[in-house]
């Protein structure tokens, strides 16, 4: 989406949809492995990485004064990657499994609501583009 047609918000929403789909897969995998001895529930975080890519706190206004310094706010929204790791909050059952099915089902429901909200926002932005492209319906 580097054509310039879509703004940063649209790109962020598209990335959010991709991340929510991945979170759905991670959570579903946790639920599917609830009875697997020794399975450790996975957790996924992408909101922090997305915020850094969007530069919501103004980090892009900073610049590196030396080539040895780390880049700040230089990650493109479309290249944002989530962190997936063993959930440190999981209580270990007798069989070594750390999946809490109720917690995972709740997370799955919340993620579905947020996915639908992002999808609706993209649809509204696309409808506005369509309206503008057709010269306001004339």
Number of domains the chain is built from: 1
Does residue 40 sit in helix, strand or coil? coil
Is residue 37 domain-resident?
yes
Domain containing 99 equals: 8-133
CA distance 57 to 13: 18
Is residue 58 domain-resident?
yes
The residue among 136 and 36 whose pLDDT is bigger is 36
pLDDT in tens, 113-130: 999 999 999 999 989 888
The residue among 18 and 49 whose pLDDT is bigger is 18
Structure tokens at 19: 């991340």
Report pTM. Answer: 0.73
Is residue 2 domain-resident?
no
pLDDT in tens, 53-108: 666 545 554 455 555 554 444 456 667 778 899 999 889 999 999 999 999 999 99
Query: Which pLDDT band holds residue 109 (cuts at 50, 70, 90)?
Result: very high
Is residue 72 domain-resident?
yes
pLDDT in tens, 4-28: 567 778 888 888 899 999 999 999 9
Is residue 1 domain-resident?
no
Is residue 57 domain-resident?
yes
Cβ atoms of 85 and 43 within 8 Å: the answer is yes
Note the pLDDT of residue 71.
Answer: 46
Note the pLDDT of residue 4.
Answer: 56
Is residue 138 domain-resident?
no
Look at residues 25, 57, 67 and name the one whose alpha carbon lies nearest to residue 42: 25
Is residue 3 domain-resident?
no
Look at residues 118, 79, 101, 80 and name the one whose alpha carbon lies nearest to residue 35: 101
């Amino acid at each position: 989406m580097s054509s310039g047609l879509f703004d940063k918000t649209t790109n962020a929403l598209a990335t959010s949809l991709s991340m929510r789909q991945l979170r759905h897969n991670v959570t579903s995998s946790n639920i599917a492995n609830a009875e697997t001895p020794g399975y450790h529930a996975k957790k996924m975080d992408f909101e922090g990485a997305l915020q850094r890519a969007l530069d919501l706190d103004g980090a892009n206004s900073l610049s590196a004064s030396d080539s040895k310094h780390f880049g700040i706010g230089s990650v493109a929204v479309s290249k944002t990657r989530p962190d997936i790791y063993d959930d440190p909050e999981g209580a270990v059952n007798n069989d070594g499994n750390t999946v809490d099915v109720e917690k995972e089902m709740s997370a799955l429901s919340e993620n579905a609501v947020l996915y639908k909200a992002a999808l609706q926002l993209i649809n509204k932005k696309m409808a506005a583009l369509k309206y503008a492209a057709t010269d306001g319906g004339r």
